[in-house]
C-alpha cells in the first residue's frame, strides 16, 4: 500500500477518546508513522471533520485542529474539479439505495482519479465502491 486516503472517521477517531474506534485509530496512526505511506485527504473530508469536531468538542479545538492539518506537510489535500463533482453525483445516484453521502462519493471520484485503492476509514461504503478499508476493522 503506497497511497492511503484518510477519511473523517480516521481523523475523528484519533482525536476523540470516547469514539468507538479510538484505540484502533490510535494504533493505526502509529503504524503509519513507523511505515510511511503517501497520505491523501480531501477538502470535503476536512470540512466534514472540522464540523464534527466542533459539534462534539469545541469550535476552537476544531479550528485549531483544521489549521494544524492544513499546515502539516503530512497530507496531500486533493482538490475537487467540476468533473469530480459530476462524477460524485453520478456515484451518489448509483449508490442511492445505500444512503452514501456526497462527501463519500467525492472521495470515491477523487480516489479513482488519483489511483488510490485504500482508505483509512471505518465506513463500509468504501467497500461497496470497490475500495479496500484499512486497517480493516
Is the per-residue pLDDT at 43 higher than 90? yes
pTM of the model: 0.94
Check residue 103 and give its pLDDT.
Answer: 97
Q: 5 forms bridges with which residues in the sheet? A: 40, 119
Q: What is the mean pLDDT of residues 37-61?
A: 97
For the chain, give the mean pLDDT: 96
Which CATH code of 3.40.50.1010, 3.30.920.30, 3.65.10.10, 3.40.50.970 fits the domain covering 3-79+117-134?
A: 3.40.50.1010
Spatial contact of 111 and 126, defined as CB atoms under 8 Å apart: no
Is the per-residue pLDDT at 137 higher than 80? no
Is the per-residue pLDDT at 99 higher than 80? yes
Q: What is the mean pLDDT of residues 14-32?
A: 96
Is the per-residue pLDDT at 35 higher than 90? no
Amino acid at each position: 500500500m503506497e497511497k492511503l486516503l484518510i477519511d473523517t472517521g480516521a481523523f475523528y477517531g484519533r482525536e476523540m477518546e470516547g469514539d468507538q474506534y479510538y484505540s484502533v485509530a490510535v494504533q493505526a496512526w502509529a503504524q503509519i508513522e513507523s511505515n510511511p505511506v503517501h497520505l491523501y485527504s480531501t477538502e470535503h473530508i476536512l470540512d466534514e471533520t472540522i464540523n464534527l469536531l466542533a459539534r462534539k468538542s469545541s469550535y476552537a479545538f476544531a479550528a485549531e485542529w483544521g489549521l494544524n492539518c492544513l499546515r502539516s506537510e503530512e497530507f496531500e489535500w486533493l482538490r475537487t474539479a467540476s468533473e469530480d463533482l459530476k462524477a460524485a453525483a453520478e456515484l451518489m445516484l448509483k449508490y442511492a439505495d445505500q444512503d452514501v453521502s456526497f462527501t463519500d462519493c467525492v472521495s470515491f471520484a477523487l480516489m479513482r482519479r488519483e489511483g488510490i485503492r485504500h482508505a483509512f476509514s471505518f465506513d463500509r461504503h468504501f467497500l461497496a465502491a470497490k475500495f479496500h478499508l484499512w486497517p480493516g476493522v
